[in-house]
């Protein structure tokens, strides 16, 4: 577990790929039910991770679409596709926010008083289009009272992208240029962690903890889609204790 200092009534966790029952290539604690793994294995893995981290309830699993929608928990059970979003927010104890990743950025947020939390899934599209900012808009607390954890994601030496990705970020903020280094002709190495850090600081958040773990180079610890497209998902969780 990462040493992130949060209020006593805030719980958080980041899983790895160890400790589950899924068979290769999903071995072993795959939490994604959309990757063609055995549904029974995924259900058991989800049960295990809830028990492992002593969560107060079942995590609310999102149907992530690389967008900027943020849902407030608890979800409306009558709403169709109520969980189709890339971030969740709550101010109710017992509701567990969760995002699944396998190279994309997981970002956990809470206020210093321990009354609000959110989990954000930020692939490059969602990050560029403002999923962090959309999640922060849910908070009642001012930005100066919000803490952020940037979790494990593909690192700056492994995330090679086309010029169009760099251009999209630089158009939005010229400072994003610092997060891209030339790679092969017409390609750049992008630093997702730096890009997220820039966005958080621009929003007024200064209490930011970066894990700086690369899912690609640590693919035996975390799932990495770029390393192996047929793979599982690990997850990042945050909740208010009962």
Q: Is the dihedral of CA 199, 71, 148, 166 positive or negative?
A: negative
Q: What average pLDDT does the structure give for the chain?
A: 97
> Does residue 26 carry a pLDDT above 90?
yes
> Does residue 2 carry a pLDDT above 80?
no
Per-residue pLDDT, averaged over 121-125, amounts to 97
Per-residue pLDDT, averaged over 143-172, amounts to 97
Cβ contacts of 76 within 8 Å, gap of 6 or more = 82
Distance of alpha carbon 23 from alpha carbon 8, whole angstroms: 37
Q: What share of the chain is helix, strand, coil (3-state, %, to 5)?
A: 25, 25, 50
* 170 burial type by CB count under 10 A (0-12 exposed, 13-18 middle, 19+ buried): middle
Per-residue pLDDT, averaged over 157-167, amounts to 97
pTM for the whole structure: 0.97
> Does residue 181 carry a pLDDT above 90?
yes
Per-residue pLDDT, averaged over 7-17, amounts to 97
Tell me what pLDDT residue 78 has.
85
Per-residue pLDDT, averaged over 103-126, amounts to 98
Distance of alpha carbon 235 from alpha carbon 64, whole angstroms: 12
pLDDT in tens, 34-72: 999 999 999 999 999 999 999 999 999 999 999 999 999
What domains are there in the chain, each with its CATH number? Answer: 10-240 (3.60.140.10)
**Measuring CA to CA, which residue among 57, 63, 110, 58 is closest to residue 87?**
63
Question: What is the pLDDT confidence band of residue 80, given thresholds at 50, 70 and 90?
Answer: confident
Distance of alpha carbon 233 from alpha carbon 28, whole angstroms: 10
Per-residue pLDDT, averaged over 75-102, amounts to 95
pLDDT in tens, 191-230: 999 999 999 999 999 999 999 999 999 999 999 999 999 9
Question: What is the pLDDT confidence band of residue 96, given thresholds at 50, 70 and 90?
Answer: very high
Percent of the chain with pLDDT over 90: 95
Tell me what pLDDT residue 88 has.
98
Q: Find the length of the chain.
A: 242
Question: What is the pLDDT confidence band of residue 162, given thresholds at 50, 70 and 90?
Answer: very high
Tell me what pLDDT residue 1 has.
66
**Measuring CA to CA, which residue among 39, 138, 141 is closest to residue 97?**
138
């Amino acid at each position: 577990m990462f040493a992130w200092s949060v209020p006593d009534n805030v719980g958080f966790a980041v899983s790895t790929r160890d400790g589950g029952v899924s068979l290769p290539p999903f071995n072993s604690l795959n939490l994604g039910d959309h990757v063609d793994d055995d549904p029974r294995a995924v259900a058991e893995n989800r049960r295990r991770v809830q028990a492992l981290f002593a969560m107060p309830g079942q995590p609310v699993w999102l149907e992530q679409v690389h967008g900027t929608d943020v849902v407030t928990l608890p979800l409306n059970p009558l709403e169709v596709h109520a969980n189709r979003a890339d971030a969740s927010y709550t101010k109710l104890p017992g509701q567990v926010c969760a995002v699944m990743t396998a190279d994309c950025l997981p970002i956990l947020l809470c206020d210093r008083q321990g009354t609000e939390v959110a989990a954000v899934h930020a692939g490059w599209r969602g990050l560029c289009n403002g999923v962090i900012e959309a999640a922060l808009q849910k908070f009642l607390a001012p930005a100066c009272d919000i803490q952020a954890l940037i979790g494990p994601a593909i690192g700056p030496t492994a995330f090679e992208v086309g010029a169009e990705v760099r251009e999209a970020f630089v158009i939005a903020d010229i400072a994003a240029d610092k997060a891209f280094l030339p790679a092969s002709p017409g390609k750049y190495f992008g630093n997702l962690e730096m890009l997220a850090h820039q966005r958080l600081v621009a929003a007024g958040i200064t209490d930011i903890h970066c894990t700086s773990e690369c899912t690609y180079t640590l693919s035996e610890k975390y799932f990495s889609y770029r390393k192996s497209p047929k793979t599982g998902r690990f997850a990042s969780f945050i909740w208010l204790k009962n």
